[in-house]
Structure 1
Amino acid sequence: MRCSLGWLLALALVLWTQAAPAEERPTLLVMGDSLSAAYGIEADAGWVSLLQARLDGKARVVNASISGETSSGGATRLPELLGQHDPDIVLLELGGNDGLRGLPPGQFQANMRRMVEASQEAGAEVLLLGIDIPPNYGQAYRDAFTGVYHRLADDYDLPLVPFLLEGVALEETLMQDDGIHPTAAAQPVILENVWPTLAPLLEENGLALAEAQG
């Protein structure tokens, strides 16, 4: 009996030490639209899936992105997701559909503020992933729209990727036929746009990234 009890205690200790790192992994919650939901391509080819592969189990990535999502929809869904997943970092990639629908920038900004504040109140850090809209919407509206991301970054002291599709949006070979959604070939470029700003947040949350750079 004594030997069996000792064996059971040893086994329990091994199982506990194996499980502990998984519990300590930081959790990333991606709140986005079709740009993060791998619209028109295989799901595992999307930049969020590539991020998960790069992290190689060192962090948990929850992709809550939905094609067609707006800032209003995201603000409605976010509180439940925060409670469900308890993320350490929230990546906010929303606004493209708001801009394409001509939503007033003030309303867009109010929705984004709700999400930023909800995330921070839940103890999560926030990374803003900015987007632009086509030139035919007029320069004044484009400036007001993109300015929302910069104001939020300044007001809440948030890290910002100014344009998620930098190096992609103007490259025909990297865009699908609709001219809005990136191809599978563009996804590694998008990840590289996000990574330099995301990596410091991951390190602040205890993640060693020496093996996750490639």
Structure 2
Amino acid sequence: MALKDLLSFFFGLAMTIALSAAARAETISLVGFGDSLMAGYQLAPEDAFPARLEKALKDKGYDVAISNAGVSGDTTAGGLARIDWSVPDGTKGVILELGANDALRGVPPEETRGNLEAMVKRLKERGIAVLLAGMLAPPNMGGDYAARFNAIYPELAKKYDLPFYPFFLDGVVTEAGLKLEDGMHPNGDGIGVMVERFLPMAEQFITAVQEGE
């Protein structure tokens, strides 16, 4: 091999290695897509779930940025209407958390399921991974409604092979000291509990996103 060809080969090899390393070092862009539980109702922006989760992940060495696309009062119908423009190109994964307001308003579970499924399909069509955060119907909705509503999330997760966190408010919903005065939304301490419990699932999700690139 001529010296010029040899130099060209090693230059090309070095560029390939450098580009590969740069790709591996690229910040993973995620979006927290949901309602007031994601938006951080009555909390400072830095205390909302996406910001606190991003900090917790960075503290563990992950290069990640989590945008907050939570809208207080949003239903699954509202989420479906805005998901295309609320999740920008370049997003690697979405934490999908919606449905609580559907249950509070008595929206038929079949409608909630259809809206969530449509959002999952749209995201997957764009090559965006989805982590589905589950919700449970409030007890006052009755057993029949709860059975139909609560089944939505595990069934969609199974159908579309999604990583699944069963209950977004786990550890908070029954603890008055972890909620605001309205008795519904988490306070700063409540968000801390949610992030702590959610963190292992988030780490698994990020690992899967990285491996899928």
Fold match by TM threshold 0.5: yes
Q: Indicate the residue corresponding to 2:97 in structure 1.
A: 93
Q: CA deviation at 1:21?
A: 6.4
Q: Indicate the residue corresponding to 1:30 in structure 2.
A: 32
Q: Indicate the residue corresponding to 1:104 in structure 2.
A: 108
SS of corresponding position for 2:74: coil
Comparing 152-161 and 194-203, the one that deviates more = 194-203
Q: CA deviation at 1:204?
A: 2.5
Q: CA RMSD in A?
A: 2.2
Partner letter of residue 90 of structure 1?
A: V
TM-score (norm 1): 0.82
Q: Indicate the residue corresponding to 2:9 in structure 1.
A: none
Counterparts in 2 of 1:183 and 1:36: CA distance versus 1, 3 Å: same
Q: Is the 8 A contact 2:132 2:163 kept in 1?
A: yes
Q: Is the 8 A contact 1:99 1:133 kept in 2?
A: yes
Q: Indicate the residue corresponding to 1:62 in structure 2.
A: 67
CA distance in 2, matches of 1:183, 1:142: 26
Q: Indicate the residue corresponding to 1:152 in structure 2.
A: 156
CA distance in 1, matches of 2:132, 2:116: 10
Q: Is the 8 A contact 2:57 2:203 kept in 1?
A: no
CA distance in 1, matches of 2:111, 2:161: 21
SS of corresponding position for 1:87: coil
Match of 1:132 among 133, 136, 140: 136
Q: Indicate the residue corresponding to 2:81 in structure 1.
A: 76
Kindly provide the CA deviation profile for residues 154-200 of structure 1, in whole angstroms up to 9, marking residues without a partner as x.
11111111111111100111111212111111111111232221211
Partner letter of residue 35 of structure 1?
A: L
State percent identity of aligned pairs. 35
Q: Is the 8 A contact 1:161 1:193 kept in 2?
A: no
Match of 2:206 among 193, 196, 202: 202
Which protein has greater RCO, CA pairs closer than 8 Å, 6+ apart? 1
TM-score (norm 2): 0.82
1:172 aligns with 2:176: yes
**Count of residues in correspondence between the two structures:** 191
Comparing 167-176 and 43-52, the one that deviates more = 43-52
